[in-house]
């Protein structure tokens, strides 16, 4: 069998929406695309993805539609290497303060999505996350990965999403004129929605912004999936 694809949702920052997009992407691919998906919870600080599955199974008595393994350790690359031989897709939710787990998780990855809020304190952590990703790309066992930034929890009642989109893609600071790095920012956003908060511990019937993210990163191959 060909190797499964490996998608990492990660950032060296907690509370940005990694687990929301990782779990919903896994459920969407399992339930709508019919894939055999294995979710790896690689967050040493919290364990929301594993708890999500447990709480669902406890509350409903039914089996969660994707398998979840918690493994927030430096040898996560070995686990992912093994799992990609057995599943259509491995999705890794990589969190918080551990650059070693983050870079190891990218060893076999085809994709990295870095969610980030349109907010100064969250943006501060983006350069270090990006640097860690570049180091990981140099060590890739599969010829590297595509990486994107995803605006998360955006509130379009404010101008922040537009300002941060500009800041991330224009190459210069609009106030000082100083040069800034240009990030590959997804057009799709995870908007701020109560439905995402309520999704925890459930298998939702609707995936909101997730399919547009998956289309843009090439997980959903438009036209091909139905065939």
Ligand X SMILES: Nc1ncnc2c1ncn2[C@@H]1O[C@H](COP(=O)(O)OP(=O)(O)O)[C@@H](O)[C@H]1O
Instruction: Select from 219, 215, 31 the least CA-distant residue to 110.
Output: 219
* Of the candidate residues 6, 8, 20, 26, the single one contacting ligand X (CB under 6 A): 20
Q: Write down the least CB distance from residue 137 to Mg ion, Å.
A: 23
Q: Does 18 bind ligand X (CB under 6 A)?
A: yes
Contact flag: residue 19 with Mg ion (CB under 5 A): yes
**Which residue in 49, 43, 55 sits closest to 14, CA to CA?**
43
- Name which of residues 27 to 86 contact Mg ion (CB under 5 A): 43, 48
CA angle 137, 141, 144 (to 5 degrees): 35
β partners of residue 149 = 114, 185
Closer to Mg ion by Cβ: residue 48 or 152: 48
Stretch that binds ligand X, among 10-18, 26-34, 140-148, 162-170 (CB under 6 A): 10-18
User: Please, what is the minimum distance in Å from the beta carbon of residue 49 to ligand X?
Assistant: 8
**Position 190 contacts ligand X (CB under 6 A):** yes
- Interaction between residue 197 and ligand X (CB under 6 A): yes
Of 3, 14, 146, 160, the one binding ligand X by CB under 6 A: 14
Calculate the alpha carbon distances from 25 to 32, 102, 159, 212 in Å: 10, 19, 27, 11
Residue 19 is a binding residue for ligand X (CB under 6 A): yes
40 binds ligand X (CB under 6 A): no
Q: Which residues contact 4 (CB under 8 A, 6 or more apart)?
A: 36, 83, 84, 85, 86, 87, 88, 89, 90
Nearest to 142 by CA among 111, 183, 113: 111
Site for ligand X contains 89 (CB under 6 A): no
Residue 215: count of CB within 10 angstroms of its CB: 14
Residues contributing to the site for Mg ion (CB under 5 A): 18-19, 43, 48, 95
Residues contributing to the site for ligand X (CB under 6 A): 14-20, 48, 95, 152-153, 190-193, 196-197
């Amino acid at each position: 069998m060909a190797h499964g694809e490996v998608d990492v949702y990660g950032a060296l920052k907690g509370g940005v929406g990694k687990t929301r997009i990782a779990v919903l992407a896994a459920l969407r691919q399992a339930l709508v695309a019919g894939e055999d998906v294995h979710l790896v919870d690689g967050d040493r600080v919290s364990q929301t993805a594993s708890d999500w599955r447990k709480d669902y199974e406890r509350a409903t008595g039914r089996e969660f539609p994707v398998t979840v393994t918690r493994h927030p350790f430096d040898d996560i690359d070995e686990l992912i290497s093994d799992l990609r031989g057995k599943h259509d897709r491995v999705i890794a939710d990589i969190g918080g303060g551990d650059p070693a787990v983050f870079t190891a998780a990218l060893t076999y990855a085809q994709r990295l999505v870095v969610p980030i809020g349109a907010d100064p304190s969250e943006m501060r952590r983006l350069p270090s996350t990006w640097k860690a990703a570049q180091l990981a790309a140099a060590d890739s066992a599969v010829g590297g990965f595509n990486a994107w930034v995803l605006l998360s929890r955006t509130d379009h009642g404010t101008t922040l999403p537009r300002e941060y989109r500009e800041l991330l893609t224009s190459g210069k600071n609009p106030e000082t004129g100083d040069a800034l790095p240009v990030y590959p920012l997804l057009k799709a956003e995870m908007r701020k929605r109560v439905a995402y908060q309520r999704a925890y511990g459930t298998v939702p019937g609707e995936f909101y912004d997730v399919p547009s993210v998956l289309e843009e990163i090439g997980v959903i191959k438009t036209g091909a999936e139905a065939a």
